[in-house]
């Protein structure tokens, strides 16, 4: 008699031990190494935290009172400097009574960026929204049509940081895709041009690019013909960021098996259809972490425009404190404040990256 195959019915995995004690043991005291690390970390915290809390909270001065701050120097933080100077730090040299304008403009721009981050909003109306918000941003910032004129060298603080980061990212990203595709092109002229561009930009520091955009470039143009310094700096950052992004994107392109291209071409898709529908969606999904890395770097690199006398967040903070002898000693507090602002933006970008990573990998794995 032939043997009969008896399948064993599947059953759920055995229950894991739960509860806080079990979790603490598993995570903190699993073996002697882990126990040692836990004890060491606790000791470090016990050593550092009390002093930190005393400086930052217990002995800190929260009132905008320069004398009280002087008295507490060396023992307590002077958060009064933020209470006193926050408008200068956030808005830079922008005329004080007009500062509602950059405020509204920045909220509009950040709202636009936030909406654009959500994939289900990637519809034609989003383009219309961009076309509406961008002129509104520049109208609010620069004036005209009933608002008083504010020249671009007075723009500053967080609005300038957000503007520089947003526009350089928005322009650098598509440019980087073209450059990455160009580097893989079969046409030698295009390939050489793209390689030359990437290697040239990567070979110089951003500061020198900004210097050239700000001081060297106008020398080649007739007096008064040179575009606004803000525009020149924006182009400089965009070109700089695009070179780095292009290499990240190229890494993604190289990860796509040639069979994908062959399948697309065998179906009669053109080169551009193949890239847009097959190669890029997969390549970009792979390099989301690298792309977001570059975006975050761009956001923070905007702080370098201070050297060409544009006072974005970091520059505005320095300017605010340096220009007032009473508050000049409290730079640490100022830096901590802007560090928190930078952190809030960068952390949001980083969380968004993780979210989009999960979204684009849907369906690719079982």
Residue 266: CB minimum distance to other proteins, A: 4
Binder of other proteins out of 27, 254, 273, 323 (CB under 8 A): 273
Of 222 and 268, nearer to other proteins (C-beta) is 268
Nearest-angstrom CA–CA distance, 159 and 349: 17
Residue 286: CB minimum distance to other proteins, A: 11
Of 122 and 347, nearer to other proteins (C-beta) is 122
Residue 229: CB minimum distance to other proteins, A: 43
Residues 274-293 that bind other proteins (CB under 8 A): 277-278, 281-282, 285
Residue 124: CB minimum distance to other proteins, A: 16
Count interface residues toward other proteins (CB under 8 A).
23
Residue 252: CB minimum distance to other proteins, A: 13
Residue 122: CB minimum distance to other proteins, A: 16
Q: Which helix (H) or strand (E) holds 312?
A: strand 311-312
Residue 259: CB minimum distance to other proteins, A: 4
Of 136 and 360, nearer to other proteins (C-beta) is 360
Applying CB under 8 A, does 99 fall inside the site for other proteins? no
The CA-atom distances, in angstroms, between 134 and each of 86, 112, 171, 229, 274 are: 26, 9, 13, 19, 32
Residue span 303-342 as binding mask against other proteins, x where in contact by CB under 8 A, dash where not: ----------------------------------------
Nearest-angstrom CA–CA distance, 94 and 101: 9
R_g of the chain computed on alpha carbons:
27
Please list, in sequence order, all residues whose beta carbon lies within 8 angstroms of the beta carbon of residue 223, skipping any fewer than 6 positions away. Answer: none
Please list, in sequence order, all residues whose beta carbon lies within 8 angstroms of the beta carbon of residue 337, skipping any fewer than 6 positions away. Answer: 82, 86, 89, 317
Residues 242-271 that bind other proteins (CB under 8 A): 257, 259-260, 262-270
Of 70 and 273, nearer to other proteins (C-beta) is 273
Applying CB under 8 A, does 16 fall inside the site for other proteins? no
Applying CB under 8 A, does 359 fall inside the site for other proteins? no
Nearest-angstrom CA–CA distance, 102 and 301: 21
Instruction: Return the ∠ at Cα 148 (arms to 142 and 152), rounded to 5°.
Output: 30
Residue 267: CB minimum distance to other proteins, A: 4
Applying CB under 8 A, does 57 fall inside the site for other proteins? no
Applying CB under 8 A, does 177 fall inside the site for other proteins? no
Of 9 and 362, nearer to other proteins (C-beta) is 362
Please name the residue ranges forming H helices in the chain: 20-28, 32-53, 66-72, 80-91, 100-116, 124-142, 157-183, 188-202, 206-211, 229-254, 258-266, 271-273, 280-286, 288-301, 313-322, 331-360
Strand, helix or coil for residue 237: helix
Nearest-angstrom CA–CA distance, 140 and 155: 11
Of 63 and 277, nearer to other proteins (C-beta) is 277
Nearest-angstrom CA–CA distance, 27 and 35: 9
Of 74 and 363, nearer to other proteins (C-beta) is 363
Of 129 and 256, nearer to other proteins (C-beta) is 256
Binder of other proteins out of 14, 19, 222, 363 (CB under 8 A): 363
Q: Would you say 166 and 109 are in contact if contact means Cβ atoms under 8 Å apart? A: yes
Give the closest residue to 260 by CA, choosing from 280, 279, 247.
279
Please report, as ranges, the residues that interact with other proteins according to CB under 8 A: 257, 259-260, 262-270, 273, 277-278, 281-282, 285, 360, 363-366
């Amino acid at each position: 008699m032939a043997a009969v195959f008896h399948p064993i019915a599947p059953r759920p995995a055995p229950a894991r031990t739960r509860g806080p004690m079990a979790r603490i043991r598993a995570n903190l005291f699993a073996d002697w190494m882990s126990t040692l690390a836990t004890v060491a970390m606790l000791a470090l915290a016990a050593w550092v935290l009390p002093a930190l809390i005393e400086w930052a909270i217990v002995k800190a001065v929260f009132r905008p009172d320069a004398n009280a701050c002087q008295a507490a120097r060396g023992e307590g933080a002077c958060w009064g400097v933020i209470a006193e100077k926050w408008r200068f730090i956030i808005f830079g040299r922008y005329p004080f009574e007009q500062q509602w304008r950059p405020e509204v403009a920045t909220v509009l721009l950040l709202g636009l960026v936030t909406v654009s981050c959500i994939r289900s909003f990637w519809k034609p109306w989003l383009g219309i929204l961009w076309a509406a918000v961008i002129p509104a941003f520049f109208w609010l910032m620069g004036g005209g049509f009933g608002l008083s004129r504010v020249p671009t060298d007075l723009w500053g603080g967080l609005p300038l940081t957000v503007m520089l980061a947003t526009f350089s990212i928005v322009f650098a990203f598509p440019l980087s895709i073209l450059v990455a595709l160009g580097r893989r092109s079969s046409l030698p002229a295009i390939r050489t041009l793209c390689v030359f561009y990437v290697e040239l930009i990567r070979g110089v520091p951003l500061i020198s690019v900004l210097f050239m955009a700000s001081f060297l470039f106008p020398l080649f143009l007739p007096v008064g013909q040179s575009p606004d310094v803000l525009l020149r700096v924006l182009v400089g950052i965009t070109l700089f960021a695009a070179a780095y992004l292009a290499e990240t994107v190229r890494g993604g392109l190289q990860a796509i098996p040639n069979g994908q291209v062959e399948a697309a071409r065998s179906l009669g898709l053109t080169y551009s259809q193949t890239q847009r529908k097959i190669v890029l969606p997969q390549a970009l999904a792979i390099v989301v972490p690298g792309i977001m890395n570059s975006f975050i770097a761009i956001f923070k690199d905007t702080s370098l425009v201070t050297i060409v006398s544009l006072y974005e967040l970091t520059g505005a903070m320095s300017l605010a404190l340096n220009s007032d002898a009473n508050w000049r000693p409290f730079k640490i507090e100022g830096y901590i404040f802007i560090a928190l602002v930078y952190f809030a933006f960068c952390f949001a970008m980083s969380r968004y990256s993780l979210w989009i990573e999960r979204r684009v990998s849907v369906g690719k794995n079982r």
